[in-house]
């Protein structure tokens, strides 16, 4: 099942428009090439809609957000909606500043997203701001554990109902959920958090998976999350005693480059809830 998701990316080679931060943009481009997709980066309002139109999917990432690119995000997002292209939102740092929180909420209001991927803190910020009368359940910790997994899954399903998007909450345990079903994913390695941009890279790759698998957004997003975590494991096992986070960064992308559908199917560790 996950295998087909990956293989469709390699067969269709979707072109992904990225409006993303300048910190991790090079890694986003290389991971898109590694997984079988193709990247274009364009963030000026003078070309955002046109570039989106020639692509197969759109990835909006609000890291290093600035006022010049917000209108481009909105315009590209709306155009992608009109064209039926999948759109991924990575709400980097939502909650850390009003600019990021409000921009993320505006994007949520104006654009229909296929997948929203962030950490629990970011997703809670979006859910809290989106008008839920109950607010965010204070009982949901920022760190998903085996103990609070059921609660976290319920939260993800509820936010999926509100937004219509597949919700991907990544952390020690990843949750990828639509309104009814959730993948709880156990792939990955803690050291991935010491490489900048593994989350950004995952969002970019998820846009490629969503674009190549338009009718199965949940499974596509879950396959992308499993692939990233599995590649984090493969890359970790390749590290020598002298390798640190810079080499780890390269090895993760290298592992994505070589990952096959068969190995993804075998290596994915998840349960459905």
Among the listed ranges 98-106, 150-158, 178-186, 215-223, the one in contact with its own copies (CB under 8 A) is 98-106
Query: Residue 97 interacts with its own copies (CB under 8 A)?
Result: yes
| Binders of its own copies in range 66-95 (CB under 8 A) | 66-68, 93
Q: State which residue, 14 or 152, has the beta carbon closest to its own copies.
A: 14
Helix (H) / strand (E) element for 207: namely helix 198-212
180 DSSP assignment: S
Is residue 268 within 8 A of residue 230, CB to CB? The reply is yes
Q: Which of 25, 35, 19, 31 has the alpha carbon at shortest distance from 212?
A: 35
Q: State which residue, 91 or 93, has the beta carbon closest to its own copies.
A: 93
190 DSSP assignment: G
Q: How many residues bind its own copies (CB under 8 A)?
A: 55
Query: Residue 263 interacts with its own copies (CB under 8 A)?
Result: no
Residue 73 labeled ligand binder:
no
Q: State which residue, 26 or 132, has the beta carbon closest to its own copies.
A: 26
DSSP three-state, residue 133: coil
Is residue 208 within 8 A of residue 153, CB to CB? The reply is no
Residues 130, 136, 138: CA angle, nearest 5 degrees: 160
Q: Residues annotated in the binding site for substrate, as ranges?
A: 41, 197
Applying CB under 8 A, which residues contact its own copies? 21-27, 29-30, 33-34, 39-44, 46-47, 50-51, 54, 63-68, 93, 96-100, 194-197, 238, 242-247, 249-258
């Amino acid at each position: 099942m996950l295998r087909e998701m990956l293989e469709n990316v390699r067969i269709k080679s979707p072109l992904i428009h990225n409006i993303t931060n300048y910190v991790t943009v090079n890694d986003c481009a290389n991971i898109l090439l590694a997984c079988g997709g193709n990247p274009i980066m364009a963030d000026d309002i003078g070309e955002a809609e046109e570039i989106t139109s020639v692509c197969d999917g759109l990835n909006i990432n609000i890291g290093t957000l600035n006022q010049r690119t917000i209108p481009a995000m909105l315009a590209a997002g709306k155009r992608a909606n009109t064209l039926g292209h999948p759109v991924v939102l990575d709400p980097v740092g939502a909650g850390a500043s009003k600019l990021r929180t409000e921009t993320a909420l505006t994007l949520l209001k104006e654009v229909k997203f296929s997948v929203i991927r962030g950490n629990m803190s970011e997703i809670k910020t979006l859910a809290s701001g989106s008008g839920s009368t109950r607010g965010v359940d204070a009982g949901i910790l920022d760190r998903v554990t085996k103990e609070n997994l059921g609660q976290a899954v319920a939260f993800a399903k509820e936010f999926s109902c509100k937004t219509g998007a597949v919700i991907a909450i990544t952390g020690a345990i990843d949750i990828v959920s639509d309104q009814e079903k959730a993948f709880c994913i156990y792939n990955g390695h803690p050291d991935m958090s010491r490489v900048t941009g593994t989350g950004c890279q995952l969002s970019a790759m998820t846009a490629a998976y969503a674009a190549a698998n338009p009718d199965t957004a949940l499974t596509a997003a879950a396959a992308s999350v499993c692939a990233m975590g599995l590649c984090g494991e493969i890359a970790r096992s390749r590290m020598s005693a002298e390798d640190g986070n810079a080499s780890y960064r390269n090895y993760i992308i290298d592992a994505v480059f070589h990952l096959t559908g068969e190995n993804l199917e075998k290596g994915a560790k998840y349960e459905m809830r």
